[in-house]
C-alpha cells in the first residue's frame, strides 16, 4: 500500500544553530528523500535544548510520515535524541547488550567512560541501525503516525548508514522507488542552469529528474519510466553535453581520475598555483590514494614556481604565470622532479582582483605531461574566487584523465 510520501528532516546540534558548523545533512537527506519520491515538507536545525527539540519533533510527526533526525546520539548530556524520541513515542529507553558489546569492541581495551553506556540505549521497540563507522547506532520506530529514523551526526557515519540501511528501509515501507529504479549520473563542469536545460530537453516520457549540487560535481537522478527509458534519457544527455562531462553513476572527478591512473598503472604528481592544494586534497580524500597519488607541489608565487618546479624566470616575465608556457613548464618540472608517471599543473586568475583586459578573472591554464609529451588547455570560468578555484581543480583532473586516455584529447575541451 502506498502512503502519502511526506518527509521532514531535523538536524540536532547547538553548533549548527549558533553557526559554528555548517549544516550539510539537510541538503543531503532532503535530496536523497526527494530522489526517492518523498515531498520534503521541512528541513530544520534545532539546538540541543529539550523544549525546542521536542516541539520540533512534535510538529514534524504531525506534518510528515517520515522524520529523519541527525545528531545528538553521542554520550554527553547535550545529546538528547534518544530521550526526546522515547518521550514522544511514550516508551522508556532500553539497554541493548549487543550494541554495548559492539561499542566496547570499538574501544579495543582502551578504558571506556561509563557515560558511553548511554549509546547502547534506544527507545523500547525501536530496532537499532548498527553503525560500522562509529560508536552510536541509529534507530527507528513509530511516533504517532510517522516513522522516525535517528542517525548519528558525523557525516562519515550518517551517509553510509543512510545509504546502506535507512534508504532501503524507507523504500520498502513506503513502496518508494528503490535504488534499482533510479539511474544516477554525474555532470562535471556544466553550469546548473545548462544542465537543467539539457535534462528538460531530453524529455523521455515518464522519466523525471532531480539534481544534487556538490563542491566538485552535480549528481543527477533519472527516475520513473522503465530501465530502457531512463537509459535513453541518459544517452540523450550524453549526446548533448559530451561523454567527458556526463558520467554514469555518482562519481567524483577524483574517482574518475584515480580509475584512469589505476588503469594505466601510473602515479600522479600535481603542481598547483591558483587551486592552492585542492587537487591534492581531493585526490587524498579517497581511501587508497597512495597507490595512484605521488604527491604535489603548491607553487603559488613566481619564486616558488622557479625554485620548486624549475620554471624558467624568463617565461614568467615574458608570458606571465598564467600562460600556456608557464603551466607546461610547471607540469614538466613536476614530472622531472618526481617519480610520477603523469603530471598535472594549473595556474589561473581566481579573482576578485588580478584580472586584466587580456587575462580577465577566470582565465585558467591547465597542463598535463608524461615523459616526452605535454599539452595545455585554456579555460575561462565565471563565478566567485571559490567557484573559479573549484572549477579549475575539476577541469585539470578531467584534463589529466583525457590526456592519459589519449584519443581526441584537444577536441574534448574545444568550445567549453
Ligand atoms: P557524537 O557521538 O560524535 O557526539 P552525535 O550523533 O551526537 O555524534 P553530534 O554530536 O550532533 O552527533 O555531531 C557530531 C559531529 O558531526 C559535529 O561536531 C559535526 O562535526 C558533525 N555534524 C553533526 N551534524 C551535522 C550536520 N547537520 N551537518 C554537518 N555536520 C554535522
Ligand atoms: Mg554529540
Each residue's pLDDT expressed in tens, for the chain with a length of 416 residues: 345 889 999 999 999 999 999 999 999 999 889 888 899 999 999 999 999 999 999 999 999 999 999 999 999 989 999 999 999 999 999 999 999 999 888 888 788 888 889 999 999 999 999 998 898 999 999 999 999 999 999 999 999 999 889 998 998 888 766 656 789 999 999 998 999 999 988 878 888 888 888 899 999 989 878 899 999 999 999 999 999 999 999 999 999 999 999 999 999 999 999 999 999 999 999 999 999 999 999 999 999 999 999 999 999 999 999 999 999 999 999 999 998 999 999 999 999 999 999 999 999 999 999 999 999 999 999 999 999 999 999 999 999 999 998 867 777 787 66
> 118 C-alpha vs ligand 1 centroid, how far in Å?
16
Residue nearest atom 11 in ligand 1 by C-alpha distance: 71
Which listed ligand is nearest to 21 at the C-alpha? 1
Ligand nearest to the CA of 134: 1
Bridge partners for 67 per DSSP: 8, 148
- The span from the CA of 296 to the CA of 328, in Å, is 16
Strands laid side by side in the 218-224 sheet = 207-213, 218-224, 182-187, 246-248
Q: Which residue's CA lies nearest to atom 8 of ligand 1?
A: 74
**Quick one: which ligand is closest to 13's CA?**
1
CA of 24 to the centre of ligand 1 (A): 10
The pLDDT assigned to 1 comes to: 37
Which three cell numbers, joined as nine digits, stand for 178?
Answer: 528503490
Pairing of strands 182-187, 246-248: antiparallel
Phi/psi of residue 171, nearest 5 degrees: -60, -40
Which residues partner with 85 through β-bridges? none
Quote the cell numbers at residue 404: 592519459
Q: Give me the pLDDT at residue 10, please.
A: 98
Per-residue burial over 138-162, b = 16 or more CB atoms within 10 Å of its CB, e = otherwise:
bbbbebeebbbbbbbbbeebbbebb
Name every residue whose Cβ is closer than 8 Å to that of residue 30 and which is 6 or more positions away in sequence: 9, 40, 43
Closest ligand 1 atom, residue 26 Cα: 27
Q: Separation of 214 CA from ligand 2 center, angstroms? A: 25
Please name which ligand lies nearest the alpha carbon of 154.
1
User: Is the bond preceding residue 352 a cis peptide, omega within 30 degrees?
Assistant: yes
Q: Residue 14 C-alpha to ligand 2 middle, in angstroms?
A: 10
pTM: 0.73
Alpha helices in 76-226 (DSSP H): 81-89, 97-107, 155-161, 167-173, 192-202
Q: Identify the CA nearest to 400 among candidates 249, 267, 219.
A: 267
Spacing, Cα 129 to ligand 2 middle (Å): 17
Protein residue closest via CA to atom 19 of ligand 1: 154
**Residue pointed to by grid coordinates 528538460:** 200
User: What's the confidence (pLDDT) of residue 215?
Assistant: 92
Ligand 1, residue 135: give the atom nearest the CA: 2
Torsions phi, psi for 58 (to 5 deg): -60, -40
Name the residues around ion ligand 2, CB cutoff 5 A: 74, 79
Kindly list the protein residues whose Cβ atom lies closer than 6 A to any atom of ligand 1: 11-13, 15-16, 21, 23-25, 70-74, 79, 136, 152-155
Among the bound ligands, the one closest to the CA of 15: 1
Distances from the Cα of 198 to the Cα of 192, 219, 246, angstroms: 10, 14, 11
Distance 76 CA to ligand 2 centre (A): 7
Site to probe by mutation for ligand 1, drawn from 12, 30, 71, 82 as the one with most ligand atoms within 8 Å of Cβ, is 71
Q: Name the DSSP class of 75.
A: S
Determine the 3-state secondary structure of 158 from DSSP.
helix
User: Is the four-CA dihedral 244, 250, 253, 257 of positive or negative sign?
Assistant: negative
Q: Which atom of ligand 1 is nearest to the CA of 151?
A: 6
Amino acid at each position: 500500500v502506498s502512503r502519502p510520501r511526506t518527509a521532514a528532516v531535523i538536524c540536532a546540534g547547538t553548533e549548527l544553530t549558533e553557526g559554528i558548523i555548517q549544516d550539510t545533512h539537510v541538503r543531503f537527506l532532503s535530496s536523497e528523500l526527494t530522489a526517492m519520491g518523498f515531498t520534503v515538507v521541512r528541513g530544520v536545525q534545532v539546538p540541543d535544548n529539550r523544549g525546542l527539540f521536542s516541539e520540533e519533533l512534535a510538529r514534524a510527526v504531525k506534518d510528515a510520515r517520515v522524520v529523519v533526525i541527525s545528531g545528538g546520539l553521542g554520550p554527553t548530556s547535550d545529546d538528547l535524541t534518544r530521550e526526546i524520541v522515547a518521550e514522544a513515542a511514550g516508551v522508556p529507553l532500553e539497554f541493548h547488550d549487543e550494541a554495548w558489546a559492539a561499542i566496547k569492541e570499538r574501544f579495543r581495551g582502551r578504558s571506556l567512560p561509563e557515560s558511553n553506556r548511554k549509546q547502547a540505549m534506544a527507545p523500547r521497540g525501536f530496532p537499532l541501525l548498527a553503525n560500522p563507522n562509529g560508536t552510536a547506532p541509529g534507530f527507528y520506530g513509530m511516533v504517532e503516525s510517522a516513522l522516525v529514523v535517528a542517525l548519528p551526526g558525523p557525516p562519515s557515519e550518517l551517509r553510509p548508514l543512510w545509504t546502506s540501511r535507512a534508504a532501503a528501509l524507507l523504500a520498502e515501507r513506503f513502496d518508494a522507488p528503490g535504488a534499482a529504479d533510479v539511474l544516477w549520473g554525474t555532470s562535471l563542469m556544466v553550469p546548473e542552469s545548462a544542465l537543467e536545460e539539457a535534462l528538460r530537453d531530453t524529455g523521455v516520457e515518464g522519466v523525471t529528474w532531480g539534481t544534487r549540487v556538490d563542491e566538485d560535481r552535480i549528481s543527477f537522478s533519472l527516475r520513473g519510466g522503465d530501465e530502457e527509458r531512463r537509459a535513453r534519457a541518459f544517452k540523450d544527455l550524453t549526446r548533448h553535453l559530451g561523454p567527458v562531462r556526463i558520467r554514469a553513476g555518482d562519481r567524483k572527478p577524483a574517482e574518475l581520475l584515480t580509475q584512469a591512473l589505476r588503469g594505466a598503472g601510473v602515479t600522479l604528481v600535481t603542481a598547483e598555483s591558483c587551486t592552492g592544494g585542492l587537487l591534492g586534497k581531493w585526490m587524498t580524500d579517497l581511501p587508497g590514494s597512495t597507490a595512484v597519488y605521488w604527491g604535489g607541489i603548491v607553487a603559488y608565487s613566481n619564486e616558488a614556481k622557479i625554485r620548486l618546479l624549475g620554471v624558467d624566470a624568463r617565461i614568467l616575465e615574458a608570458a606571465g604565470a598564467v600562460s600556456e608556457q608557464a603551466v607546461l613548464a610547471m607540469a614538466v618540472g613536476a614530472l622531472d622532479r618526481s617519480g610520477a608517471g603523469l603530471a598535472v599543473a594549473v595556474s589561473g586568475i581566481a579573482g576578485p582582483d588580478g584580472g586584466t583586459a587580456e587575462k580577465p578573472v577566470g582565465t585558467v591554464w591547465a597542463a598535463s605531461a608524461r615523459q616526452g609529451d605535454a599539452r595545455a588547455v585554456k579555460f575561462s570560468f565565471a563565478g566567485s574566487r571559490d567557484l573559479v578555484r573549484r572549477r579549475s581543480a575539476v577541469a585539470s583532473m578531467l584534463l589529466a584523465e583525457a590526456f592519459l586516455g589519449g584519443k581526441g584529447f584537444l577536441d574534448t575541451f574545444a568550445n567549453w
